[in-house]
Structure 1
Amino acid sequence: MFLNKRSTFFIALFGAFLLLSSCNEYQKVLKNTDVKAKYDLAERYYNEGDFKRANRLLEQIAPKYVGKPQGERVMFFFADSYFQTKQYYLAGYQFERFVKSYPNSDKIQQATFLEGKSYYMMSPKYSLDQTDTDKALAKLQNFINTFPESEYFEEANDMAQELTTKKQKKQLEIAKQFDKLGEFNYPILISSITAFNNFISENPGSIYREEAYFYRLKSAVTLARNSTVNKLEERYTEALEYYNALMKAYPETEFKKEAEKLYQYIKDGLNLEEEEVSK
């Protein structure tokens, strides 16, 4: 059955009346000094999903409930209202306070998880400063170690792995920058090789490990080709070791074509036959 224009008008008018009444109630309580009224309205807004208005009210009353029975509930709602409104820095700070203040709370698992997730949400792309990523990893790892049976464990583990991969990406890109700069300033290639060695030893399960093996070989060959005579044999021999390591770890490497070209430089540099190079 279709509504006529008159009915539609009255429904819209009634909706506007309710909205106005709600706004008036909110503004009235917000300016009131009645802490209990603020608490009741804040809880109602929180349960209805109106976290922005709940947050404003909770911000006013949270200090009033410190040390009181309702303090735990108020503090959790306050922290979560920041999280729900995507104010992650403040959420992380408030959840951290909650965890320290109420270690025996039945909300401790959720609060500890959301504390870590707040910092996870602030983690920037890999090319930027990773201070928040480091903090998120520490918080998430603490949660994983403390609550291995939690319903949030899998999500926390996934987030921690994502952040670890992001940090590995940054570490690899820094090493690759050394490799790129070394094409114009050959001594920098020594730092490049060191950076790739560190990456390989520090990240045994990384998805970027194969790439690190290849770029280490590339840096080593470029360095050898541009070395003084007294350094040639030593550096080509080192490059050969890196080539063999790449092919042993990744016999079907995606860098095989480029690696074979570098391999030829090694053979020529050492004046060795095929069977000697592969020893």
Structure 2
Amino acid sequence: MKKGILVLGLLMVTLSCSEYQKLLKSEDTAPKYSAAEELYNEGKEEDSNKKLRKALRLLEQIEPQFRGKPQGERLVFILADTYYQLGDYFNSPFHFERFLQLYPNSQKAEEASYKAASCYFYRSPRFNLDQTDTHKAIEELQVYLNTYPDGEYTEEANNMATELRVKLEKKAYEIAKQYHHTEYYKAAIASFNNFIADYPGSPFREAAYYYRFDSAYRLAINSFEVLMEERLNNAKEQYKSYKKYYPEGEYVPQLEDSMSEIDKRLQNF
């Protein structure tokens, strides 16, 4: 009985594949349209990439033939969304953006705008790589938020934009920190100054204040004597900046130890 069920199942799959192949070769667009929409809907519901890929082949065949027709709007959208459901975040935004150009007043315009922007979010790489797609994602998400301030996807778009901004902050912070760790203290101080000015609400802000001070401190104590007094006083100013904003901060013990050394050295002048 089990063998019979298995054979029947294989036969149905074979027939299904055979019918699909015939459909691909057919010149009749109406059954292709129906099959494509059915496969797209089932693929989304069942999370089936196999059905979505089948839908995609049909959609790519017939979409040009429906341009300017009533079904064209629906076809352009589900073509873009099929790429999106398959995780193809390079082709999907192109098709969503084309949909928005062709049908700016569509009921699906908001969803298309959000999904096009989110494609760039998913393309955004790790913080230590090139961040072109990250900047593009923030830009596109902001366009969505400006266009639909109370939209269906506003919360998701805000969360994505925040995550991307933190990624850019982390990249800038890590570049400055790398200067510190490789003992390019002047470059580190300049980079931390820029970071603090550019990202006032960053979660890395306290650490940036600390490493800016530590860079100034290490630059001072490793200087020629003719430069040391001025640089020690500069480090002292950086200490005051940290204490102003973080009087009970995480790095206070390290700062106090370094300040003791700075005060001792300044007594020699």
TM-score, L = length of structure 1: 0.89
* Pairing partner for 1:48 from 31, 42, 49: 42
Match of 2:159 in 1: 158
Uncovered stretches (5+) of structure 2, i.e. residues with no partner: 44-50
Counterpart-to-counterpart distance in 1, 2:178 and 2:13:
57
Counterpart-to-counterpart distance in 2, 1:268 and 1:58:
77
1:107 equivalenced with 2:103 (yes/no): no
The answer to whether the 8 Å contact 1:46/1:77 transfers is: yes
What letter is aligned with 1:221? Answer: Y
Uncovered stretches (5+) of structure 1, i.e. residues with no partner: 1-5, 183-187, 273-279
TM-score, L = length of structure 2: 0.92
Counterpart-to-counterpart distance in 2, 1:245 and 1:261:
16
Once the two structures are superposed, the pairs formed by residues 1-279 of structure 1 within 5 Å of their partners are 6=1, 8-49=2-43, 50-182=51-183, 188-271=184-267
Q: How many residues of Structure 1 are paired with residues of Structure 2 in the alignment?
A: 261
What letter is aligned with 1:106? Answer: Q
The answer to whether the 8 Å contact 1:221/1:265 transfers is: no
In the TM superposition, residue 264 of structure 1 has moved relative to its aligned partner by: 1.9
Counterpart-to-counterpart distance in 2, 1:244 and 1:216:
12
Q: CA RMSD in A?
A: 1.5
What letter is aligned with 1:44? Answer: E
Counterpart-to-counterpart distance in 2, 1:267 and 1:31:
85
What letter is aligned with 1:12? Answer: L
Counterpart-to-counterpart distance in 1, 2:67 and 2:266:
75
In the TM superposition, residue 61 of structure 1 has moved relative to its aligned partner by: 1.6
What letter is aligned with 1:66? Answer: R
> SS state of the match for residue 182, structure 2?
helix
Counterpart-to-counterpart distance in 2, 1:109 and 1:14:
45
Counterpart-to-counterpart distance in 1, 2:35 and 2:195:
54
What letter is aligned with 1:72? Answer: E
